[in-house]
Structure 1
Amino acid sequence: MLKTMSPPHISKLTFATLLFPLALVLFEFAVYLGNDLIQPAMLGVTRDFGVSSSWAPSSMSFYLLGGGCIAWLMGPLSDRIGRKKILLAGALFFAITCLLILFTQNIQSFLGLRFLQGMGLTVISAVGYAAVQENFEERTAIKVMAIMGNMTLFAPLLGPLVGSLMIDHVSWHWGFVGIAILALLGWLGLKVAMPADQKANLTQKPMSSIWSDFKTVFNNKQFVIMTSALPMACLPIMLWIALSPVMLVENLGFSGLQYGMAQVPVLGALILGSVILVKIIDKYPLGQTILFGLPTMLVGALIILIGLFIPTYFVWTLIMGMTIMSFGEGICFSVLYRLAMMSSDVSKGTVASAMSMIMMFSYFVVLEVSRMLFEAYDLMAFSLCSLALVLMWFTLPRTMLKKVMVERKEKGQF
């Protein structure tokens, strides 16, 4: 039987209330660096293992697949034994796998360890984010998620710069050493700062009830549609992170420094969008920023596509279009995430796990398909994949969002 969950009690942001999110951010930063720092260094990895650079995007897709495969367990387990225990175990496991990858001898074992490292993504999304949503009032939770997003965005901002330097000057092995150290610091911060789980928030249901809980979640049409919209919003930027080392360095002849600098406006716009979201979230009905952000992303995707027909200016239209798309994602993703998670009344660990499964497997499939298309059709494939993802949001997700906003208005929810 599910005990009554204590309502969120934190509505104001102070240094004391932010200690736990800040500790979670440190671990999250390490996990994101596990992709954003390593991805540009993959050209060095493939060179060391004597394989084609076409293997480079697989590092990211296997990382995401690892997160998706364990998602079904992490959230429900944290519902039963506590979020803190799972977070601490996950941070320690992630650090260990980062050290083990130093001893790999071929691309297959490397990708195997990348799969295991990806489980850290699910620990954050299915356990850490659920804890944030439970402990903070609705709009405060969105602000906390946006602030966390701003801080972790330094990973994709700094990661490419450091990763590109590793290509030219040092071994990629040092990247994993640094990531492991950050993860261990995050583990220590969570151990000290994360509140102990309240027994009232833990379910007494047996583990055998997991499947019925998931069935309830996945039978919820609103949940499925709103969660499916999340990859549509963030996958274009993930495609950029996965493919830009090949696009910019190999295809367009960028140096390591030029590649790193090209990331600054794109990922800086993501930070700017999140900052603006925190400033305006209390002024507009929840969901309004999504109705602005996704059309903004569409404009960016169209600019990239147009640039293909103006080869002289393609680099500029590519970076400009990605910058606009990043800004659009920044002002809508945290709100979209909140609305998706609150679409179901099932315990939030299970809901967050279901979200992780949909998102991680979507990431894996789209990234691998895009990689194969990119090998065959080059920059045209990247442009059309980005455009198609954004256009998909204007179907069922947009209709569902408007329906949710109308229902919230009828209930007097701003």
Structure 2
Amino acid sequence: MISQPISRLSWRAMLFPLSLVLFEFSTYIANDMILPGMLQVVHEFNAPSSLVPTALAAYLAGGAALQWLLGPLSDRVGRRPVMLFGVAAFIVLLLLTLPTSSIGQFMVLRFFQGMSLCFVTAIGYASIQEAFSETAAIKVMALMANVALLAPLIGPVAGAALIEVAPWRSIFVIIAVTTTISLFGLWRTMPETAKLRGTPFNAREIVGDYRKVFGNRRFVCGALAIGAASLPLLTWIGQAPVILMERAQMTPLSYGLWQIPVFAALIAGNLTLARLADRVPIHRVIAIGLVPVMAGLTLAAVAMLIDSNAVAWLVAGISLCAFGTGLANAALYRLTLFSSTVSKGTVAASLGMITMMLFTVGIEIVRWGYGSGGNLWFACANLATGIGFCLLVRRFLSNHDTPAVGA
């Protein structure tokens, strides 16, 4: 149990975040590496290409399924044992992909594999926030995001290269190996930070905690803002194989290379946040991040209105949006998590449920309209999301100095 939050980021202090981010990296790359091979997957199982984004939606739906239980459970049983169980289960679920023989089995496995995201958001992030001081936690989260974002940066390229020489199922074996390394690292370095450990698991008390969290309008506003900030990137990840490989007739390798500017911009935003965290008030950093988000999404929508085949302009707009998202998200997460005084496992789980469900619904809405609206629909839907993000952030920051309501 950590008695005082860590404020100095020594190498020893960073061993736990590094082990955690390797697990987070594995959960992300489990989606990103398979994306170039998704057309092969649906063709092997005689399924339509329109199901490609549904695989991502199923993964994210799994990421929302266990949040409600894991947060309160880790508060009472302990963060460490629940996290270690989740990492081990993810390894088993990855290997179960090898004998799949239908698209239905594949989608069900994607749902259960997506539950690994629950352990990252409901337990891992809460542990980081509890183990480190505010400024240190924001820096750690921003730096962790950069490592985790190597997955969408290198995942599509690595997946495209791998499926040229090996079956698509081999991707899941490689990810199982990296997850095993993470499991060992977490076993050796993860501290126990749950303050309610040993408290009886009382269902009525847990329901009461969730009522307090979801009754906190400022928290809900912040959680929705976090989801809206990331949704354009998630819809891009889900729809890009269709936009680039099927419609623009790119090769899997070209598809992977076109992901680089988007996620390089996201990493640049996180690095900028890490530099500004102890120099500029975090609510001001969030407000600054709104500018590139809206500029990028507006650019993408206008470009698609002029020429729906101008993929380069679409990627440029999404990349600019990604920079703003990277600049704002970790700071917004910290403020949102501490907008309620309920135990952080429950708060983190509530935040994860809201964002994951928003991602799942948003991706499916974009997929549904893409068949008839094409790239213009994709860009305009994301612009609408960006406007919602700005309104939510403005509401959230307008009373950032006031006490949390319902907490």
Q: 2:301 aligned with 1:305, yes or no? A: yes
Residue number in structure 2 paired with 1:335: 331
Question: Are the counterparts in 2 of residues 39 and 59 from structure 1 also a CA contact under 8 Å?
Answer: no
Q: 2:350 aligned with 1:358, yes or no? A: no
Residue number in structure 2 paired with 1:64: 60
Distance 2:194 2:56 in 1: 37
Tell me which amino acid in the other structure corresponds to 1:321: G
Deviation at 1:40, TM superposition (A): 2.5
Q: 2:278 aligned with 1:282, yes or no? A: yes
Q: 2:105 aligned with 1:102, yes or no? A: no
User: CA distance change for structure 1 residues 390 and 126 in 2, over 3 Å: closer, same or farther?
Assistant: same
Distance 1:102 1:6 in 2: 41
Deviation at 1:164, TM superposition (A): 2.2
Question: Are the counterparts in 1 of residues 79 and 193 from structure 2 also a CA contact under 8 Å?
Answer: no
Residue number in structure 2 paired with 1:231: 227
Aligned pair count? 402
1:6-85 aligned at under 5 Å gives the runs 8-85=4-81
**TM-score, normalization: structure 2?**
0.95
Deviation at 1:32, TM superposition (A): 0.6
Q: 2:319 aligned with 1:323, yes or no? A: yes
Residue number in structure 2 paired with 1:131: 127
Question: Are the counterparts in 1 of residues 224 and 392 from structure 2 also a CA contact under 8 Å?
Answer: no
Tell me which amino acid in the other structure corresponds to 2:243: M
Which residue of 387, 390, 402 corresponds with 1:391? 387
Residue number in structure 1 paired with 2:249: 253
Which residue of 178, 202, 205 corresponds with 2:197? 202
Partner-residue secondary structure (3-state), 2:66: helix
Distance 2:35 2:333 in 1: 25
Deviation at 1:399, TM superposition (A): 2.0
Moved over 6 A (4+): none
Distance 1:58 1:102 in 2: 20
Question: Are the counterparts in 2 of residues 227 and 340 from structure 1 also a CA contact under 8 Å?
Answer: yes
Deviation at 1:305, TM superposition (A): 1.1
**TM-score, normalization: structure 1?**
0.94
Distance 1:223 1:199 in 2: 21
Residue number in structure 2 paired with 1:193: 189
Distance 1:127 1:199 in 2: 10
Deviation at 1:207, TM superposition (A): 3.0
Tell me which amino acid in the other structure corresponds to 1:123: F
5+ residue gaps in structure 2?
A: none
Question: Are the counterparts in 2 of residues 233 and 294 from structure 1 also a CA contact under 8 Å?
Answer: no
Distance 1:21 1:37 in 2: 23
Distance 1:293 1:101 in 2: 39
User: CA distance change for structure 1 residues 8 and 122 in 2, over 3 Å: closer, same or farther?
Assistant: farther
Deviation at 1:322, TM superposition (A): 1.2
Which residue of 113, 119, 130 corresponds with 2:115? 119
Deviation at 1:309, TM superposition (A): 3.5
Deviation at 1:320, TM superposition (A): 1.0
Percent identity, please. Answer: 39
